[in-house]
Structure formats: structure tokens, C-alpha cells
Amino acid sequence: MTTSSQTQKGLPQSEITGRFVRHATLRQLQLLEAIVRLGSFTRAAEEMFLTQPTVSMQIKKLTDTVGTPLFLHVGRNVEPTDAGREVYAACRTILRSLTDLEIKLADLKGLKSGHFRLGVITTAKYFAPEILGAFCDQFPGIDVSLKVTNRERIIERMAASDDDLYIFGEPAHAGLDVEATFLAPNPLIVLARTDHPLVGQSGITMERLAKERFLLREPGSGIRDSIVRRFAEQGLRPNVRMELGSNEAIKHAIIAGLGISALSLHTLTLDGGAGRLAMLDVEGFPIERTWYLVHPKGRDLSTIAKAFLAFAVDREREITASLERTYDLLRAPSAG
């Protein structure tokens, strides 16, 4: 009979603990945490900027250290074994403790040095780098990192506290208990190619819009959810011709004449559609959405994170002014 101080191989628990401390690495624990959270070696490799063979090799080493399998393959995904879940729970505790330590050390350094991590959903990539760049100019000793990904992945990262702050829309729909600070407006507008028959018309109804071939983002996209809800409010459904995985792909598809779509105005702030896109005057649009700076509720922010939050909020006028300039560019084609 094996006692609580022994493993199935008969080794004392102290020896197992010592072996784990000697041979397990922090990177291996980070990888295991990512695999369990994402359910995939491939997605974990992408998040950690590693190749899948490297991830597999590191998990094999960790498995050898533990002495029992950590994962089971279930179809195309993987699930942790009982041992994997135990190691995962320990990983979360260890990684959270290290994050807390990093926050405390950063506070001791003030704003002279340290690291700040910002996670943003895809549409926010059009203005987040500018805010980060200006922040770095003011605090040159701080290293920053920016993670741009889709809405579902940002929610996963928030749940795991992988970053210091997040730029996110509609935090109430995230399914998490978060604190949100208003950052800037995020209007959704309907776009068509400049030679589309509806360009220049006023007061286009939702019923008329429902007859057009519509291009939508993939399921899970916040923009898609807002558009579908707006149609549903009128008892309608968009005539979906194609689903695309990025805002850039949708813009190119509109220009190619494949249909119309609704996108965040922020996706056009850099070029305004380069004169090939026009905004349609549709009843019920723009859909007024909002950007928020978000972090898990009860999570202490470092001095650096608090400084960035205040810095970003102060730039709301600049973000709004950029949107106004884009409105003017998009109105120009229909005016002619």
C-alpha cells in the first residue's frame, strides 16, 4: 500500500519534489498552462512564439520529470490528465505569484524602468501602437509589449491575467468580472464600394440593406455580434455572402465588388479606404460602441499600468479627432 508520502514508484515525496524543482523549468510550466487553457499544442506554440516540435519536446521533458502522462489527445484537441490538472493548478499559482512579484518590483522602481504588457482586440491595432509609442516617449525606461488577437483570445488572456491591461469593447459580454474605464468611441459604419448604387442615397432602411450581399467577420467577432443584433432588432437577418477572418480582408472584398459590410471606423483611420470605399447612410447606423481599458476586477495594477491607464484616457480627444477626419474622407465620395 502506498502512503501519502510515497509515489507509485515508492519514492519519498521529498525526493519527487526535489526532482521537480531541479528539472522542471518555468518555460515548461508556461507551456503547460497555455496548452490546458487553449486546448491545443499548436495554439500554445503560436501564443509563445515557438515551433510545435519545440513545445512537444518541452512537454515531453516535463512529463518525464513528473513520471506520468500529462495530456490525452481527444480528436484534434488535447485534454489534461488528472496529473496534468494538478500540475496546471500549481502552474497557475506559481505564475500568479511571479506576476504579483513583478508588480511589486515595478512599484519599487517607480516609472524609471519596468515592463508593461497590453493586450488588444484586432480592431484596436489601428490606434493602440500610437498610444504605446507616445507612452514610451514619455517614459523611455519602460519596456512594452503588445499582443493583438481576436476577441475570444483576449478574453482567455484576461482570465489568465497574461497582460497588465486590455483594450476591449463591450466588457459586459466578456463573461468575466472586470473593471472597465472609458477610452474612446468605436462606431460601426456600413461601407460599400464608391460605385455601389446605394452610395449617395439618404435614409437607407434596414429592410433594403438586408437585400444586399453582406460580408461578415467570423463567428465570435464582437463586430459581427453587434451587426447581427442590429438586424435582429428589426426582425431581419443579413444576407451573408461570405465570412472573412480579418477587417483587411473584408475591405479588400468590398473593393473587389463582393458585397457590403459594416466595420469599425477605426479600421479606416489610416487611409480612409484610399478613396475606394464610401459610407452608406443607413437608418440605425452608426452603431455606437465604445473602447474600454479593462483589467480583471480585484487585480492590483502596477504603478506603470496605472500610469498608462491615465495616459491613454488623456488621449481620447486625439482618437476622436482622428475618427472625425476619417468621417470626412468617407463622406467625400458620396458628396460627389
Domains defined along the chain, listed by start: 13-96 (1.10.10.10), 110-184+291-321 (3.40.190.10), 188-288 (3.40.190.10)
- The pTM for the full model equals 0.65
pLDDT at 211: 93
In the block, which residue shows the cell 518541452?
58
Tens of pLDDT, residues 165-178 = 999 887 766 677 88
Is the per-residue pLDDT at 182 higher than 70?
A: yes
Amino acid making up residue 214 = F
Q: At what angle do helices 13-23 and 52-66 cross, to 10 degrees?
A: 160
Answer whether 43's CB lies under 8 Å from 157's CB: no
What does the pLDDT look like over 230-244, one tens digit per residue?
999 999 999 988 998
Residue 111 pLDDT level (bands cut at 50, 70, 90): low
3-state class of 268 per DSSP? helix
Ranges assigned E (strand) in the chain: 71-74, 77-80, 114-121, 142-149, 165-169, 178-185, 188-193, 213-217, 239-244, 261-264, 277-279, 290-296
CA distance 17 to 181: 43
Q: Which three cell numbers stand for residue 278?
A: 464610401
